[in-house]
Structure 1
Amino acid sequence: MRPTVTRIHTVSDVTVWTGVAWRPHADVLIADGVVTEVRDHVPAHGPGVIDGAGGHLVPGFVNTHTHLQQSLCRGVGEGRPLLEWLLAVGEAMNAITPERAYVAAVAAALEGLLSGTTTLVEHMWPHPAPEVHDAVLTALSDVGVRAVLGRGIADREDPTRRWGFDPRLMQPLDTALADTDRLAAAAGHHVTLGLAVPNPRSLTVEGMRTVATFARERELTVMIHLSETGTDDAMCREHAGLSAIDYLAEGGLLSERLLAVHGVELDADARRALSDAGAAVSWNPVSNMRLGSGVAPVPELLADGVAVGLGVDGAGSNDRQDMLETLRAGAYVQRAHARRADLFDIGSMLAIACDGASRALGLPVAATPGGVSAGRLADLTLLRFDRDFACLPVSDPGATLLTCGTPRIVDTVLVGGDVVVADGRSTRIDVETLTAALLALTPTAAHREA
């Protein structure tokens, strides 16, 4: 039974991040799921009012890349290079059932929500069972998070995963695209559909052209792992005589609705092509470190005019769906790589984490990236630093958020003005029941040894 939804029309007397500064003693007014005004505080009480006194309000994070089903794969393939890791995780994906998909999606989506993620971009692996996709849709609705659900597609088979995709999870491309239309019709208010391509090696040129036409006609996001390592370029040059970015161009996939994921090995030519097309890149710093893939050229991407959003990646390569951890790690790894401490402050990181890839995802583009302002969706996170003594004392809220923030400081989360997290707990999911379901899926010692 779905709990009663609390709809908020005012966050009262809160300190608001405007995108350029903190504004104390402000009220944020909400109507029809959208912020309508940020004004000086006027006392108000009653239903629909959140007392924000002592709290700090920021836009909700947009996790631009994850694989929800990998929440059942924590620790799988640890210490293995990317292609070996993919094969290990692929075995778990072959074992997915609708029941497992539902539990995995609830666990991952809720974990993200509890760290301030209000929108997630789910990059599903191709799978022939419609019931698995239906289970994920149900899970997203039950948790209450906003989502872009990428329906997995591929049309080239290769069990090695070097020049194609796992044949056990393949289905005809036209069947997968028809199922995307079915899912779009069944999706709830907060879920939109996209197309999820494993990598350039998984689609033929003809397949890319079909996908590009399908997506363009429906204004869908196409998300694709691109140049996480040098494998994409090497395989595309060997089999097609083109670089990976030129291969995508040949198939017509370069557009402003393309979300290229990882991009660690994007060179100047590739960055220029993405910029010219208006495409975006999903930056996944923790996953890239975990798998030893390297450091994405984020300063270069931004300088070349490429939109950049922040991603956590799946729990098979990050192990946590914690956007606050990813926010901090992303800033730190770029500073270490450049040997400069004055890069990627809280303002630039919030702009990336909240609005960086909005256009590619079909989300409203904020007037001030990373800030709470009139016209943006009422997807908001109320932080209370006193929920975690390790954040105190607070001399600079932005510095504290970037350097010390953990999910413990997330007090209230709104999605479209609805309260989905209150006092640091889900208003929709019984966590004890979820925990029991996850424990029931834990492999026994005998299974692990096998």
Structure 2
Amino acid sequence: MHLEGTVLVGPEFEPVEGRVIVADDEIVRIEETSVDSDDVILPAFVNAHTHIGDSIAKEAGEGLSLDELVAPPDGLKHRLLREASHEAKVAAMARSLRYMESTGTGTFLEFREGGVKGVAALRDAVAGEGVDFGERAIDPVVFGRDDPDVLSVADGYGASGARDADFDAVRSETREAGKLFGIHAGERDADDINAAMDLDPDFLVHMVHAEPIHLERLADRGTPVAVCPRSNLVTNVGVPPIRDLAERTTVALGTDNVMLDSPSMFREMEFAAKLSDLPAREILRMATVNGAAIAGLNRGVIELGADADLLVLDGDSDNLAGAHDLVRAIVRRAGAADVSRVVIGGEPAGRETV
């Protein structure tokens, strides 16, 4: 397979006219040459934090506080998940997966509730079992919870927060299993941040209320952070200090709960860019290679040997035509209607338009 157009190469997304050659699921050649195409080729997005299980309950929690919405064990989302059938959860997640694929997400880091059964439901949605949407190509990194046996089927453990339980034992088990450990911290207030950081997690999620002492610890440890600014705004807890965090560690973007926001990385990038006023290239890294780095993946960047997860945009769409700064236009204005093609693992996925 080869794709032609303006290729955004490397972690700096340098625009190069030419083509990307793909073989055996990886990028094997990048050719700089004149081509007759207005397409723009960039890495597929890596959504660094999701809860897609609550796809069964979009916009269900208007007016509720963060704790009323999502706090375990009896926040609204947890009650709805307990009440829903396996089949309903699988079908709802499959719809979200199809939407994520069609809007350019190739990988997502999912905090999956429900223990072993919860992980199985997501795997069924990815495989298209029992639903009419076909087999998915999108590739999740699954962080289980709620079950001591979940590490046997998950890629890591996704803890709700240090105030919710004692996670010392499960942190040790995760480390012994050679798997990843992530934890929510500083979402509602700053009180759980130090305790979360004391667990030496592989990454933190949210950090809305990071204080100077926490920022210093981040800089010393280099602990990555996944931020979800749209979700934080909806739950009225504030917004993360994205610029302060980015000055000290690796920051990646996530869309958080499907109950609260669509899992669109276009929308998350635009919001984060306008909130932080960071350079567009830095925001695009947060939506691609930084999330991949958190999960130890070889994707999120167009370079030789990287996984062939690619997003093709129509550079001549009514929305993007005439852009003077292509990367800035992608970050601040591109959307689902600009998507021409999505390639995951070297194969077409999601929606393809002509």
Write 1 or 2 for the structure with the bigger share of helix. 1
Q: Does 1:313 align with 2:256?
A: yes
Of 171, 194, 198, which aligns to 1:246? Answer: 194
Gaps of 5+ in 1: 1-8, 44-51, 154-175, 185-192, 234-243, 335-342, 426-450
TM-score w.r.t. length of structure 2: 0.89
Of 96, 108, 118, which aligns to 2:96? Answer: 108
Counterpart residue number, 1:202: 164
Counterpart residue number, 2:344: 415
> Secondary structure, in 3 states, of the residue corresponding to 2:278?
coil
Counterpart residue number, 2:284: 350
Counterpart residue number, 2:84: 96
TM-score w.r.t. length of structure 1: 0.71
Contact 2:269 2:331 in 1 (8 A): yes
> Secondary structure, in 3 states, of the residue corresponding to 1:143?
coil
1:259-301 per-residue CA deviation (whole Å, 9 max, x = no partner) reads 2111100112222323333321111111111112212112111
Of 172, 178, 182, which aligns to 2:149? Answer: 178
Contact 1:221 1:362 in 2 (8 A): no
Counterpart residue number, 1:227: 186
Query: Which amino acid in 1 is paired with 2:141?
Result: V
Measured on the aligned residues, the alpha-carbon RMSD in Å equals 2.2
Give the superposition deviation at 1:14: 1.5
Give the superposition deviation at 1:218: 2.5
Give the superposition deviation at 1:39: 1.4
> Against the structure 1 CA distance between its residues 111 and 40, is the aligned structure 2 distance closer, same or farther, given a 3 Å change threshold?
same
Contact 1:245 1:273 in 2 (8 A): no
Counterpart residue number, 1:159: none
Contact 2:227 2:240 in 1 (8 A): yes
Give the superposition deviation at 1:42: 8.2
Give the superposition deviation at 1:131: 3.9
Query: Which amino acid in 1 is paired with 2:83?
Result: A
Q: Does 1:64 align with 2:7?
A: no
Contact 1:411 1:421 in 2 (8 A): no
Q: Does 1:33 align with 2:25?
A: yes
Contact 1:97 1:132 in 2 (8 A): no
Of 7, 21, 29, which aligns to 1:16? Answer: 7
Instruction: Give the fraction of aligned pairs with identical amino acids, expressed as a percent.
Output: 22
> Secondary structure, in 3 states, of the residue corresponding to 1:265?
coil
What is the distance in 2 between the residues matched to 1:105 and 1:151?
A: 16
> Secondary structure, in 3 states, of the residue corresponding to 2:210?
coil
> Against the structure 1 CA distance between its residues 393 and 246, is the aligned structure 2 distance closer, same or farther, given a 3 Å change threshold?
closer
Gaps of 5+ in 2: 128-134
After TM superposition, the structure 1 = structure 2 runs for residues 315-330 of structure 1, keeping only pairs within 5 Å, are 315-318=258-261, 320-330=262-272
> Secondary structure, in 3 states, of the residue corresponding to 2:220?
helix
Contact 1:198 1:225 in 2 (8 A): yes
What is the distance in 1 between the residues matched to 2:340 and 2:123?
A: 26
Counterpart residue number, 2:308: 378
1:328-387 per-residue CA deviation (whole Å, 9 max, x = no partner) reads 0111112xxxxxxxx3232111111101233331213x7xxx642112211110011444
What is the distance in 2 between the residues matched to 1:279 and 1:29?
A: 34
After TM superposition, the structure 1 = structure 2 runs for residues 106-185 of structure 1, keeping only pairs within 5 Å, are 106-125=94-113, 127=114, 130-141=116-127, 142-153=135-146, 176-181=147-152, 183-184=153-154
Aligned residue pairs total 342
> Secondary structure, in 3 states, of the residue corresponding to 1:228?
coil
Counterpart residue number, 1:166: none
| Structure with the greater alpha carbon radius of gyration | 1
What is the distance in 2 between the residues matched to 1:20 and 1:246?
A: 33
